Amino acid sequence: MIRLQYILRIFRYKLLSRKFFFYVFFVGFSFWLFLNPLKQISNITGYGISPWGYPLLLSNVFFAVLFLGSAVYVFSDIPDGGKESMFHYIRLGRIKWGIVQLITIVFLALIITLLSFLVSVVTLLPNIVGEKIGDGFIIQLL
């Protein structure tokens, strides 16, 4: 059985890396950039926005390219050459190392998805409405 300490160590190494912090900053800036016009429309009309606008962002081709490019950047080990990865590869063996990498990729993908949704909600935070209007009037107009 794979030791949990190796999975947690690799996971923590990837979460606390400079690449992940750059990803959070870049995604936050791009969400702010793409959601600011929607926020301005909401301020002008006085209607609220539903927090479920995140899937609509991915339908924009330019945003999808930026989002997927930044996700590829987070998952690639090219800039640092995988220095930490070689140590784990030697200690665990090829098969266990591959399993740990797959587990790490799955959990990191879940965290990236949840983080992206939370950033989109935080970006629209003053204008978000709950269930009293349904899906939000602005989203229904789109």
Contact 127, 42 (CB under 8 A): yes
- The pLDDT of residue 142 is 55
Which of 19-54 are b and which e, b meaning 16 or more Cβ less than 10 Å from the residue's Cβ? bbeebbebbbebbeebbeebbeebeeeebbbbbebb
- The pLDDT of residue 89 is 65
| Gap between the Cα atoms of 41 and 39, Å rounded | 5
What CA–CA distances, in Å, run from 28 to 67, 68, 105, 116? 11, 14, 21, 8
List the structure tokens of 67.
């989002």
| Gap between the Cα atoms of 106 and 12, Å rounded | 14
pLDDT in tens, the chain (142 residues): 567 777 777 777 777 778 888 888 988 898 888 888 888 888 888 777 777 767 777 778 888 888 888 888 888 775 555 666 666 666 777 788 778 778 888 888 888 888 888 888 888 888 877 665 555 555 555 5
| Gap between the Cα atoms of 56 and 142, Å rounded | 9
The CB density around residue 3, as the number of other CB atoms within 10 Å, is 12
List the structure tokens of 43.
């301020």
**Helices within 46-93 (DSSP H only):** 54-57, 61-75, 83-92
Domain ranges of the chain: 4-141
